[in-house]
Structure 1
């Protein structure tokens, strides 16, 4: 339905994403609020005509609604604060009118599973630091150890990358979240993510085999269970079908990593995330990957997950190995189009892993800008910062 919008087009989305991310960071709102904001925006724009001059108003109002739903009352911005961030383009009454219009359009149904919830569930069930207990309240799983801090920081960066491109809207939220979690573990050279997905797949296969035997003994039609709910897979896990979706998302995330917004670069450089990501790309010679070898169409947009090259790249991105119970390839990945990797800096002060010709929006040509001196709020203390910044020397 968004394609039918007469004025709002997909190329405008990255500019609004940048603006909302900066607003969200300056207001120090919860991570859940950011992802719920975009759930509200997308659902609204799929049902109502949005005029170009109101696109920013819709985004700010959605952030206002999401903050009321997720954050403490003291964190919820006032109408004057919202209007100030929009350079006083709108009247205060317009925010209240838009709020009622959005809520009525969504039938007052605000709650939705978001990427931060999936990340928290992934940490809860995979237990990366050996200290997570399933009987703890979910709200207590907040970067309580350096290991969890690092995983969540990189995972959030990947999750925020998915807000820019429409391709991610075709996947279930839980599958995107678990893919970001798996890739973050791989980037950080941790096997906790791949071990967890291996266990889930083995449980699923055992359940299918047990069901098959039971049906055969009773001369009944063989009906295999599908879409089993395992931990963060709240939308269901369906064996190889789910694994293939994870591979596809990892390909798209890889493309997004090579061309991030400068807003995200600025936000995550201070946490050491960009240093770790750049080191992962450099150590695995991924900057010169020929993406056309992964696709099965002339535009290079549709990935062929059955090709040898695609399987090997996804194995690397997701840290799938010979111990994985699902089918993988045994041949090493051969990188083509060798280039001088000296253009990739491992310094945390270097703001770019991008090709100089990247076309990712870096400023607000359409929207008012929030101060770049904004301090960002994350659940990281000084020890966690040191851990993130020191990871570059620990990656093998």
Structure 2
């Protein structure tokens, strides 16, 4: 394929052991590549995390297209379970293997290659921004959020943004994301009174109270879904007393729940519901309680319109498939970008992301570059 090879670039990035929040040279590869192509590159590091901001074109331009992505990856897990070197970028039978092959070094390589070739071959009347972080797979507090803070301070602006996360469930082109569900976790502690299991009347067992609470939370229907979102879900992810003895009623019991919620709710409204349910349990069982809540992101949506149409038409032109507009899946950095400008996500088939022997088809990386190039051409046409 003519121009910058996104597969070779993906392989170079995979060889960097950039397990979040370490960079190990991944962003420097992109920095040098983009700088040599005429992009103005700025490091927007924060909290020990490396972040790269790159812009081609004058920031005074009225039309600015942005790409967002990350080069950090999750840990490899059991190294012995891998049949290919996790950071070897080995290609076999048209498939590239390695941690980050799908999520999402290939996506970053594809949009970087598309942007470099595009400004070289058909310099647009506008600007292109690439905002790439090394902190997406972790707490994500010093990654894209830091890039957006830098942009605000420097009076930089994206008019629209495409996040290169893997979005297709089964077939290249079958899905793009126009929003995401919110996500929150609650850690709950029920406090009773320790005692001998032969004399339960002298103790206050926190376990029945916790079981009642977990049953109520898990069996509660949060909603029926909305126009663009599936029904919200609550999952009990742990219940534990840390009690090794069979003749002791424990003093306390701990549990955690994770909620993925749609636009019927906010993190605040769900927090208030959890707290109210906990008060009921305290009253019914005479226990005390504590709750700690972390809201990872609110639900959001970029309503179908010019941006989603632009990307969908490019995907259909190159794959023959009209992508479904979805809000399914976990969280992504689009939840931060949505405060800045309209944002959608489109990328590769994500079936192997975070798995042992993570891999991607080589032809899909080339195809993704072509799709991103068409998006740029159509946007600046």
TM-score, length of structure 1 as denominator length? 0.27
Whose Rg is larger?
Answer: 2
Bigger RCO (CA 8 Å, 6+ sep): 2
1 or 2, which has the higher helix percentage?
1
TM-score (norm 2): 0.28
